[in-house]
Structure 1
Amino acid sequence: MDTEFINLTSENLLHEHLCCIIRSRKPHPGVEAKRQWLSDRLPEGHVFRKLNEKATVFIEYAPLETAWVPVVGDNYYYLYCLWVSGSYKGKGYGKALMEYCFADAKEKGKSGICMLGAKRQKTWLSDQAFAKEFGFECVDTADPGYELLACSFDGTTPRFAPNAKIGKIANQELTIYYDMQCPYIHQSVETIRQYCAANDVPVSFIQVDTLQKAKELPCVFNNWAVFYKGNFETVNLLDVAYLKRILKK
């Protein structure tokens, strides 16, 4: 099965699709933003491995020290995303991708692998029940209901940075922190921007454009975080229906 997968590299990045939003002709701004983000991350050891088909079947992970998340620890990999969708489910691709990540971590002498989870499975997070089959366990928590899951090879564990547990900011208006790691972020930003403009809802967008900013965020983060009335709400990307529910609070 290994021959069915390819890793993105600096050499093939411009020519390979990025799985989430597959476009063969007209460029997609979210995809191109992700491509640029990846071009800066790949030299840092970031891994994007995908099925060699026009499909959403991939895993994405990076050394924790350079992962754009407010998680700290020594010598870990951080797993951003493992996604298998549509007719490709149930064929062993997810297992193969996770096994590749584990083998890569052990070959490089890593202490383990960690990922963002939750007490109850949330959308836009990888399937934690699947991850727990590989030995991932909760090693830290943050409100509201988020967990840091880790599989340790040597008994050490990572943790959320103390600032990630604050969950509050001074700004009372709708505030969204985001980076360009996910191709869907661009369209989510535009959807929210247009709705707020049409309905006179004050909103602040804060792009997380450096590793330091990501590590210092006042909440858990995978590539997106929403605050309202000073309180952290979610890492889920928003559609209009979800946004309306938040604004009713």
Structure 2
Amino acid sequence: MENFSMDFLNLTPENLASEHLCCIIRSKKLHPGVEAKRKWLSERLKEGHVFRKLNAKATVFIEYAPLETAWVPIIGDNYEYLYCLWVLGSYKGKGYGRALMEYCLADAKQKGKSGVCMLGAAKQKAWLSDQSFAKKFGFEIVDTTNSGYNLLALSFDGTTPRFAQNAKTLKIQSEDLTIYYDMQCPYIYQKIETIKQYCETNNVSASFIQVDTLQKAKELPCVFNNWAVFYKGKFETVNLLDVESLKRILRK
């Protein structure tokens, strides 16, 4: 492969304001979800969070952070947590995903980390990174929940992370539709607006709980990558909802 096409860059406090964020491509107009993500990232970059992307207007990026400061109810010593690895459209099949994963693993080793972990599921979820791809690099399931979610890890030293005990609770007191979310994903802002509108129009009782601190994220009663849905007190999914998937949950 010709190297000129592998032009990646990492977001930094210096370039964060000027670089586009890959997930939602916009030209001139500010997008509230993208701006919320930018604000969230500005705090995370100080904590060792890495956002590496193709230097192009494309959805080709990887995002990972030290597990200790990753906004997920997963615990372990000296691991990196992989939030997101995404290659879309005409950029697929050109080795970008492999290059990004290899960078993450090499970076973790160079930093003396014990390994890299990520959230997976018994059945691949639309809003989680492709676990079959990760398994090609040696990621293995190291913990599971009763809701069909897995913790995958590639360990460099034989140690493994695990879900926090509270992440296996899978129940809350409220019977209402309840969505926990943070601003890590640019799509979240518009999904919340869409669901709020649907619930108001159709008289559905709903709670939207913003996870706005690391402590809240670590104490969540379910697995979480940036979003989690409960209905009738039971955990449903980490997938961001559109109206059709919301209707399916409400029919239960």
Under a length normalisation based on structure 2, what TM-score does the superposition of the two structures give?
0.98
1:170-249 matches, within 5 Å, as 170-249=173-252
In 2, Cα distance between equivalents of 1:215 and 1:229: 23
1:104 is paired with a residue whose SS is: helix
Q: CA deviation at 1:23?
A: 1.1
| Partner amino acid, structure 1, of 2:62 | I
Partner of residue 69 from structure 1, selected from 68, 72, 75: 72
Q: CA deviation at 1:122?
A: 1.1
Partner residue, 1:114: 117
Partner residue, 1:103: 106
| Partner amino acid, structure 2, of 1:13 | L
Give the unaligned 5+ runs of structure 1: none
For residues 56-81 of structure 1, the C-alpha deviation after alignment (integer angstroms, 9 at most, x for no partner) is: 00000000000000000000000000
> Is 1:11 equivalent to 2:20 in the alignment?
no
In 2, Cα distance between equivalents of 1:198 and 1:118: 33
Partner residue, 2:25: 22
The sequence identity of aligned pairs, in percent, is 79
| Partner amino acid, structure 1, of 2:105 | F
Q: CA deviation at 1:86?
A: 0.2
For residues 180-220 of structure 1, the C-alpha deviation after alignment (integer angstroms, 9 at most, x for no partner) is: 00000000000100000000000000000000000000000
In 2, Cα distance between equivalents of 1:237 and 1:143: 20
The count of residues paired between Structure 1 and Structure 2 equals 249
Partner residue, 1:140: 143
Partner residue, 1:33: 36
Q: CA deviation at 1:153?
A: 0.2
Q: CA deviation at 1:90?
A: 0.4
Partner of residue 55 from structure 2, selected from 52, 55, 70: 52
For residues 150-200 of structure 1, the C-alpha deviation after alignment (integer angstroms, 9 at most, x for no partner) is: 000000000000000000000100000000000000000001000000000
Give the unaligned 5+ runs of structure 2: none
Root mean square deviation, CA, Å: 0.8
In 1, Cα distance between equivalents of 2:48 and 2:70: 10
In 2, Cα distance between equivalents of 1:46 and 1:76: 12
1:114 is paired with a residue whose SS is: strand
| Partner amino acid, structure 2, of 1:37 | W
| Partner amino acid, structure 1, of 2:133 | F
> Is 1:166 equivalent to 2:163 in the alignment?
no
In 1, Cα distance between equivalents of 2:53 and 2:164: 30
2:36 is paired with a residue whose SS is: helix
1:123 is paired with a residue whose SS is: coil
In 2, Cα distance between equivalents of 1:73 and 1:116: 14
Q: CA deviation at 1:143?
A: 2.6
Q: CA deviation at 1:144?
A: 1.3
| Partner amino acid, structure 2, of 1:240 | V
